[in-house]
Amino acid sequence: MFSRGYKTAVTVPPLAWVAVFLLVPYLLMFCYSFWSVSPSTQTIVHSWNLDNYKELLQKAVYWQTLLRSMWIAARVMLFSLLLGYPLAYFLSFYAGKRKDLLYQMVIIPLWVSYLVRAYAWKTILGSDGVLNTLLQYVHLTNQPLDFLLYSPFAVVLTLTHIYTPFTILPIYAALEHIPRNLVEASHDLGATPAQTFWKIIFPLSIPGVVAGATFAFVLSLGDFLAPLLLGGPSGIMISNIVVSLFGAAYNWPLGAAISLGMLVIVVSLLLFSERLEKKWSFS
């Protein structure tokens, strides 16, 4: 029904835009990662070599920071799932008439400014922040606890706060799509509530869990603002190194090599989780 001209008219402009502003920049990042900075003139030398990758493999600081970032992201993912799954389950099966209201209450923090929320945690966790002064006010402590802010703990806490709603929504959607008569059938055939949950409900919700986990992990892995604001020296993540390489340290090629590494990790995770979801989806 749609003519060739129509199809061309709707296809070419977005295709061209995506090519220029997404595809070319990614390719450029790839090229940059093989270039270098001339030590004498501080300009970028367009000669192709593997030096940046060699440096990444040789210097421990990059590996250690990458591993620390993955460890932070893994904790954020785990805590978000532990907080998010039971809540999604409650919403889907127990919330009754309040379902719609509670669902909106999950969506709202999701769209509240990232910066606003990270800042709020900073004011709560600081040494003269709300939590420390509260603890002293009720005489639980008599001096500020200093591990609260400027630590990996603060980063994990804040990112968990930010990404928990991201895990709730896909899990909730997966739970909502489970035909209720399956659950009833399991019941009628004599399964205990625990059996029904582990044999019917949980397996059918796995695609949602995988989607939520991927979001939490991938987005935390690349975060650089929460570590800058709340992480302190021990909470530095891989993206912070990239930021400094693109800024004061002025080594774009090395920064590009790290970014490309992150891009590869992230895209492989996305493809992997897509396969997992497909494997576990029942429709």
Q: Does 29 bind other proteins (CB under 8 A)?
A: yes
Of 77, 92, 274, 83, residue with least CA distance to 201: 92
Q: Does 45 bind other proteins (CB under 8 A)?
A: no
Q: Does 176 bind other proteins (CB under 8 A)?
A: yes
Of 241, 244, 72, 84, residue with least CA distance to 154: 72
Query: Least CB distance from residue 47 to other proteins, whole Å?
Result: 16
Task: Single out the residue of 249, 251, 262, 280 in contact with other proteins (rule: CB under 8 A).
Answer: 262
Which CB sits closer to other proteins, 58 or 246?
Answer: 246
Q: Does 3 bind other proteins (CB under 8 A)?
A: yes
DSSP string, 37-58: E-TTT--EE----SHHHHHHHH
Query: Least CB distance from residue 254 to other proteins, whole Å?
Result: 12
Q: Does 194 bind other proteins (CB under 8 A)?
A: yes
Whole-angstrom distance, CA of residue 237 vs CA of residue 231: 9
Binders in 67-126 for other proteins, by CB under 8 A: 83-84, 86-87, 89-91, 93-94, 96, 99-100, 102-117, 119-124, 126
Contact region with other proteins (CB under 8 A), list: 47-55, 58-66, 163-171 = 163-171
Q: Does 6 bind other proteins (CB under 8 A)?
A: yes
CA dihedral 173, 174, 176, 177 (to 10 degrees): 120
Whole-angstrom distance, CA of residue 101 vs CA of residue 91: 10
Which CB sits closer to other proteins, 55 or 120?
Answer: 120
Task: Single out the residue of 55, 70, 187, 232 in contact with other proteins (rule: CB under 8 A).
Answer: 187
Binders in 133-162 for other proteins, by CB under 8 A: 133-134, 136-137, 161
Of 244, 223, 218, 60, residue with least CA distance to 152: 223
Q: Does 256 bind other proteins (CB under 8 A)?
A: yes
Work out the burial of residue 117: count CB atoms within 10 Å of its CB; fewer than 13 is exposed, 13-18 middle, 19 or more buried.
Answer: middle
Which CB sits closer to other proteins, 58 or 94?
Answer: 94
Please enumerate, as own/partner, the contacts of 260-264 that have beta carbons within 8 Å and a separation of 24 or more.
260/29, 260/30, 260/33, 261/56, 261/66, 262/221, 262/222, 262/238, 263/26, 263/29
Work out the burial of residue 76: count CB atoms within 10 Å of its CB; fewer than 13 is exposed, 13-18 middle, 19 or more buried.
Answer: buried
Q: Report phi then psi at 37, rounded to 5.
A: -105, 130
Query: Least CB distance from residue 211 to other proteins, whole Å?
Result: 6
List the beta bridge partners of residue 44.
37
Q: Does 9 bind other proteins (CB under 8 A)?
A: yes
Q: Does 25 bind other proteins (CB under 8 A)?
A: yes
Which CB sits closer to other proteins, 5 or 58?
Answer: 5
Contact region with other proteins (CB under 8 A), list: 51-59, 60-68, 208-216 = 208-216
Which CB sits closer to other proteins, 61 or 112?
Answer: 112
Of 46, 53, 44, 49, residue with least CA distance to 264: 53
Q: Does 193 bind other proteins (CB under 8 A)?
A: yes
